[in-house]
């Protein structure tokens, strides 16, 4: 069975998380993604060691480089750029998240590479976008979250900005980049022409916060006011008896209010003037939240989940990673996959979040070792001989 992107070749010159994630998403759907690293390797390979972690598997590098073939290529040498240009001629996509100033220095900009292949899709996954005063500034995940406004859309109970955890902006930026590449490939099928694709940390965060941004644009509500406006005891999360958490996720609050009161044993509040409708509950939000919290502490999370499911009322347990991998919905839909690696044996990895009935994707392999496929790629795609490879090695091109 074929996969959607079989026959598409991607040159992946990326580092850390945002750019590599885009490449991994394409590899999952069948693209031949060739990860190009300089001799010292993607700095993401050493991130765990920087923080003093000695791990049997580099989970960070694995996460965003699975399914790729890996080669070493030194662009600072003329021979290295010659190899790259030959690969560009035989590829569909060149993907990078290095700063554009660095791409210019290395001679691998869109303007240069597209001369070797006018059908090339050049995907640039940046921090702050291709235009504006900060277009060449460096950044990373946490700053992308902060500047993108999403922290202020998920305030803590003390109205402090709330980080969504390491990697959120990078993953979204990679997803947006992959989306742009797919659009450009579809356009190329129609026009025969390649083009440059720009995506960024910042644009991805704006997309994630589009609802609150739209609220501000049309009504002028600041983010914090919008968050508070939507506060509801039926759109909230509560600590349970076993110190786990449970979330109620009801938008049609007045419709479900009687059911929630019944399930929680709070029928006496159903017609209470302070709580009988959404507007009243918001006016008395602190009081009703305190009442709900006290009741939730009387049962475990899973007991509440069974009660709310029986109605059913939109709700869910608040899972951590250990819960998630055992969640029956995650298991049933194959969202945890298993890769049989020749060295490590069977390794579980996050699965593919979208299913195509006739051309499904697949996690093909773990991340490559540094330079693992250099000879294979050059011989297969460019027809190099072992003598050719030996000469390049002598010149330290890889």
Name the residue ranges covered by the structural domains of the chain.
9-208+337-394, 232-324
Average pLDDT, the chain: 93
- 36, 381 in Cβ contact below 8 A? no
pLDDT beyond 70 at 317: yes
Find the mean pLDDT for residues 137-144. Answer: 92
**211 compared with 5, residue with greater pLDDT:** 5
9-208+337-394 and 232-324 in the same fold: no
Superfamily classification of domain 9-208+337-394: Crotonobetainyl-coa:carnitine coa-transferase; domain 1 (3.40.50.10540)
Residue 306 contacts by C-beta under 8 Å, 6 or more apart in sequence? none
pLDDT digits (tens, 9 = 90+) for 53-100: 788 889 999 999 999 999 999 999 999 999 999 999 999 999 999 999
Asked if the bond preceding 312 is cis, omega within 30° of 0, the reply is yes
pLDDT beyond 80 at 52: no
- 79, 392 in Cβ contact below 8 A? yes
Give the separation between CA 210 and CA 226, rounded to whole angstroms: 12
pLDDT of residue 51: 72
pLDDT of residue 228: 67
The CATH architecture one would assign to domain 232-324 is: 2-Layer Sandwich (3.30)
pLDDT digits (tens, 9 = 90+) for 191-242: 999 999 999 999 999 999 898 888 889 988 877 766 666 789 999 999 999 9
> SS3 of 247, please?
strand
Position 278 confidence tier, pLDDT thresholds 50, 70, 90 = very high
pLDDT of residue 215: 86
pLDDT beyond 80 at 150: no
pLDDT of residue 355: 93
> SS3 of 304, please?
helix
pLDDT of residue 65: 98
For the chain, what is the total number of helices (H) and then of strands (E)? 19, 11
The whole-model pTM stands at 0.93
């Amino acid at each position: 069975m074929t996969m959607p992107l079989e026959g598409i070749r991607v040159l992946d010159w990326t580092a850390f998380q945002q750019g590599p994630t885009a490449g991994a998403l394409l590899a999952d759907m069948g693209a031949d993604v060739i990860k190009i690293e300089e001799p010292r390797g993607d700095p993401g390979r050493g991130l765990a060691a920087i923080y003093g972690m000695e791990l049997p598997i580099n989970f960070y590098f694995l996460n965003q480089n699975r399914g790729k073939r890996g080669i070493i290529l030194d662009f600072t040498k003329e021979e290295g750029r010659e190899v790259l240009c030959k690969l560009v001629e035989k590829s569909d996509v060149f993907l990078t998240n290095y700063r554009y100033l660095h791409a210019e220095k290395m001679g691998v900009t869109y303007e240069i590479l597209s001369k070797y292949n006018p059908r090339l899709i050049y995907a640039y996954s940046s921090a702050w976008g291709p235009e504006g005063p900060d277009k060449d500034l460096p950044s990373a995940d946490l700053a992308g979250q902060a500047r993108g406004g999403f922290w202020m859309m998920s305030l803590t109970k003390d109205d402090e900005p709330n980080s969504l955890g390491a990697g959120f902006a990078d993953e979204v930026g990679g997803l947006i980049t992959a989306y742009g590449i797919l659009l450009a490939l579809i356009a190329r099928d129609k026009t025969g022409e390649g083009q440059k694709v720009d995506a960024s940390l910042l644009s991805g965060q704006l997309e994630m916060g589009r609802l609150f941004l739209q609220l501000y644009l049309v009504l002028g509500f600041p983010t914090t006011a919008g968050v508070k406006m939507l506060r509801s005891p039926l759109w909230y999360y509560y600590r349970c008896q076993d110190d786990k958490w449970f979330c109620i996720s009801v938008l049609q609050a007045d419709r479900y209010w009687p059911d929630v009161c019944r399930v929680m044993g709070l029928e006496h509040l159903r017609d209470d003037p302070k709580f009988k409708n959404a507007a009243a509950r918001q006016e008395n939000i602190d009081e009703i939240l305190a009442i709900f919290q006290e009741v939730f502490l009387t049962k475990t999370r899973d007991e509440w989940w069974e009660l709310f499911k029986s109605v059913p009322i939109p709700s869910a347990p608040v899972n951590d990673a250990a819960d998630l991998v055992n969640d029956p919905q995650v298991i049933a839909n194959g969202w945890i996959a298993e890769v049989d690696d020749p060295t490590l044996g069977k390794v579980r990895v996050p699965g593919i979040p979208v299913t195509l009935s006739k051309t499904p994707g697949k996690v093909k392999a773990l991340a490559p070792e540094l330079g693992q496929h250099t000879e294979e790629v050059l011989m297969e795609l460019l027809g190099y001989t072992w003598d050719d490879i030996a000469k390049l090695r002598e010149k330290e091109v890889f």
